[in-house]
């Protein structure tokens, strides 16, 4: 009896120092490589979570493109740019519908933004042309910043030095702002596209379409 008890105790002590189960470690390693956004797909190699808003969502493998001047840096620059524009557009659509057109654009009286665009084009086409010229200059500046930043590695995508509160890059609050910018920007891209598409379908503005849900 004593011999059996001693053997069992020695076996238990030996198992404490035994290597971990290989299957468990393999499962842990496999889970670590899976995408957070799409758990049934593997995480893309370059999407390692270091960028704000990165949850490994890349079902088309766009992050692996590296040719004709397009790579992950360029794609990130484009995403941040469109996020910022979309936030302005979504808010601007609602603002103009609620409070009226900007000074000098009184001809754009339609609630639907596409109809308002063509109203303005008929009366003041020079405004549209001026806007296109401004976009050309903005894109040129953005392109130069993107190219030089990608080559030097000294500039993060979308970084134009706008930091009025002077937060350091490693400040947790600043990192939170980056996460919020991406999250709200992605939502705004859907919102702005939805406002325009719904307006073209119904002929109404964003607020009118929203109110019609409850009527």
Q: What is the average per-residue pLDDT within 36-60? A: 87
Q: Between 21 and 61, whose confidence is greater?
A: 61
* C-alpha distances out from residue 88 to 71, 82, 91, 210, Å: 26, 10, 5, 19
Q: Is the pLDDT of residue 1 over 80?
A: no
Summarize pLDDT for 167-200 with one digit per residue, the tens.
887 778 888 999 999 999 999 999 999 999 999 9
Burial class (CB in 10 A: 0-12, 13-18, 19+), 83: buried
- As a whole number of angstroms, the distance between CA 62 and CA 57 comes to 10
Question: Cβ distance 182 to 83 under 8 Å?
Answer: yes
Summarize pLDDT for 126-162 with one digit per residue, the tens.
999 999 999 999 999 999 999 999 889 889 899 998 8
Residue (of 135, 129, 126, 125) closest to 85 by Cα position? 135
Question: Cβ distance 187 to 79 under 8 Å?
Answer: no
Q: Is the pLDDT of residue 94 over 90?
A: yes
Judged by DSSP in three states, 42 sits in strand
The confidence band for 28, taking pLDDT boundaries of 50, 70 and 90, is very low
Sign of CA dihedral 104, 108, 109, 112: negative
- Percent of residues, the chain, with pLDDT higher than 70: 85
Judged by DSSP in three states, 172 sits in helix
């Amino acid at each position: 009896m004593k011999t059996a008890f001693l053997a069992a105790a020695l076996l238990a002590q030996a198992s404490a120092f035994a290597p971990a189960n290989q299957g468990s470690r393999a499962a842990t390693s496999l889970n670590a490589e899976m995408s957070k956004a799409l758990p049934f797909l593997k995480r893309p190699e370059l999407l390692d979570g270091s960028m704000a808003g990165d949850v490994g969502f890349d079902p088309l493998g766009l992050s692996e493109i590296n040719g004709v001047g397009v790579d992950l840096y360029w794609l990130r620059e484009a995403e941040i740019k469109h996020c910022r524009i979309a936030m302005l557009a979504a808010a601007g659509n609602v603002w103009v519908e609620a409070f009226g057109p900007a000074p000098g654009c009184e001809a754009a009286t339609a609630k639907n933004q596409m109809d308002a665009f063509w109203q303005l084009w008929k009366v003041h086409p020079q405004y549209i042309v001026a806007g296109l010229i401004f976009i050309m200059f903005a894109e040129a500046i953005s392109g130069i910043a993107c190219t030089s930043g990608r080559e030097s590695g000294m500039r993060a995508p979308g970084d134009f030095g706008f930091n009025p509160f002077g937060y350091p890059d490693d400040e947790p609050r600043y990192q939170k702002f980056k996460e919020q910018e991406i999250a709200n920007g992605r939502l705004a891209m859907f919102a702005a596209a939805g406002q325009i598409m719904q307006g073209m379908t119904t002929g109404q503005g964003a607020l009118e379409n929203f109110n019609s849900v409850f009527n």
